[in-house]
Structures are given as C-alpha cells and as structure tokens.
Amino acid sequence: MIISVIRTILLYIVIILAIRIMGKRQIGELQTSELVVTLLISDIAAIPMQNTEQSLLSGIVPILILIVCEIIISFLMLKRAGFRRIICGKPIVIISDGKINQSEMHRLRMSTEDLSEELRQQGIFNIEDVGFAIVETNGKLSVLKKPEKDIPTAEELGIKTNDKGLEVVVISDGEISKYSLKICGLNRDWLFDILKKENTELNDVFLMIANGQGEYKIIEKERKI
C-alpha cells in the first residue's frame, strides 16, 4: 500500500513538471499536438499506478520522451509556418462582413446553435451586429463587431482618461503577495500603513486590491456569528 502511494506521488510530481514544461494553457486552448501529448501522458501514467509490478521507469521514461517530442514540435511550429498549419490547421472565417459562410460551418460541423451560443458568451445576442467571426486553431471563436455596433472608446469620444496602472490582488485571505506589491511599485511598509489607517488587521482582510497610484480597496472577512 505504501509503495503504491509513493509511486502515485512520484508520478504526480512528474506529470505536474511535464505540464509546466509544456506551458500554461487552459484545456480549451490546447493545440492539437499538446492535447495528444496530454491524453497520452494521463494514459501512460495510469499503468504503473495500477500495476505495482510494472517498473516506475516504464511510466516516467515515455512521459519524458513525449515532452521532448512536444518541445521539438513546438519549436518547429514556431519557426515554420507551414509546419504549424499542418499540425494545427489555420483560422477559418465563418462570418465575413456580416454574412455567414455556410460551407465553412458545414466543414467544421458547426451548427447555427453552436454559433449562437458562442456569440452569446461574448455578449452578442444579434448576429447582425457581427462584422467578422473567426474560428481559431484552438477552437475558440474571435468576433469583431460592426463599427456602428461596437462600443466607442474614450479616445473616439475625445475623453481624456488617467492611467491608473495595473490593478492587482495584494492580500488574499490574510496572505500578502510580495509579487503583486512589486508589480505596483509598493512595499510592505505602505501596506501596513494602509491597514493601520483603516484600523484593520492583516488576518481580518479577505481581499485587498491596489494599483500603482496607491489606490486600493479592502474587503474584510465576514464575522462568524
């Protein structure tokens, strides 16, 4: 039993490292080669976990080989556009100048219900508002609204805005994020001065957001009754 636990933990660590090497992507954003490698890794890792008589290396070595192959393929896709198109395909325009390309939708086996759902998820409920819609190589839908249907920017309206910088979480559930403070150009002294000013303790803070201008918002933890 103990051996099975140790083997599982070791394989878990190897898989985590393998996924980190592949890069940070959500499952829905995986390219074809990455998805294949991910599925194979999960399948290969299950064999030595289920069969303790199987050598642990018989699971780790194939995983490492797959990662090397993925790195090589990723490099080739980065340097060779033609190779990338072979592996990942190319973006497909399914709406052009407000007109649906039915032949491309049929080729993608994409129904009108699928298209409507994707548009609704992007806050578009009227298909006539769409200028262009493109199915990317990862399956996601990119949409460009018609100019007259899009929200005007402050620049287009002639409104001058102040750049307040990036807003980040500096305290999460009582824990300080040194990295976030560094991004904003702030420090712990500033942070504790603010907490003192607001008459609150670090452990009582559920969420604190701040930006480079020193503007902040604090949400305290709910009091238990």
Domain boundaries defined on the chain: 2-86, 92-149, 168-220
10-14, 87-91, 161-165: segment of lowest average pLDDT = 161-165
Average pLDDT over residues 167-195: 92
Answer whether 92-149 and 168-220 agree in fold. yes
May I ask the CATH class of domain 168-220? alpha beta
The per-residue pLDDT for range 86-107, each reduced to its tens digit, is 887 889 999 998 899 999 999 9
Is the separation of the CB atoms in 128 and 172 below 8 Å? no
The per-residue pLDDT for range 29-61, each reduced to its tens digit, is 666 777 788 788 888 878 777 777 777 787 888
- pLDDT score for 27: 54
Answer whether residue 85 shows pLDDT above 80.
Answer: yes
Task: Give the chain as a DSSP string.
Answer: -HHHHHHHHHHHHHHHHHHHHH-S--GGG--HHHHHHHHHHHHHHHHHHH-TTS-THHHHHHHHHHHHHHHHHHHHHHH-HHHHHHHH---EEEEETTEE-HHHHHHTT--HHHHHHHHHHTT---GGGEEEEEE-TTSPEEEEE-GGGSPPPTTTTT---------EEEEETTEE-HHHHHHHT--HHHHHHHHHHTT--GGGEEEEEE-TTS-EEEEEPPPP-
User: Residue 112 corresponds to which amino acid?
Assistant: T
- pLDDT score for 30: 66
User: What is the percent of the chain with per-residue pLDDT over 90, rounded to a whole number?
Assistant: 39
Q: Which two tokens stand for residue 209?
A: 């957001």
Residue with the two structure tokens 């609204």: 145
May I ask the CATH class of domain 92-149? alpha beta
Average pLDDT over residues 125-140: 89
- pLDDT score for 28: 55
- pLDDT score for 78: 81
- pLDDT score for 29: 60
Answer whether residue 165 shows pLDDT above 90.
Answer: no
* Cα–Cα distances in angstroms (integers) from residue 167 to residues 41, 151, 180, in the given order: 37, 23, 9
Answer whether residue 133 shows pLDDT above 90.
Answer: yes
Answer whether residue 71 shows pLDDT above 90.
Answer: no
User: What is the percent of the chain with per-residue pLDDT over 70, rounded to a whole number?
Assistant: 94
Answer whether residue 24 shows pLDDT above 70.
Answer: no
Is the separation of the CB atoms in 139 and 178 below 8 Å? no
- Return all residues near 192 (Cβ < 8 A) that are at least 6 apart: 202
Q: Which two tokens stand for residue 7?
A: 């083997």
Answer whether residue 80 shows pLDDT above 80.
Answer: yes
pTM over 0.75: no
- pLDDT score for 23: 65
Answer whether residue 67 shows pLDDT above 80.
Answer: yes
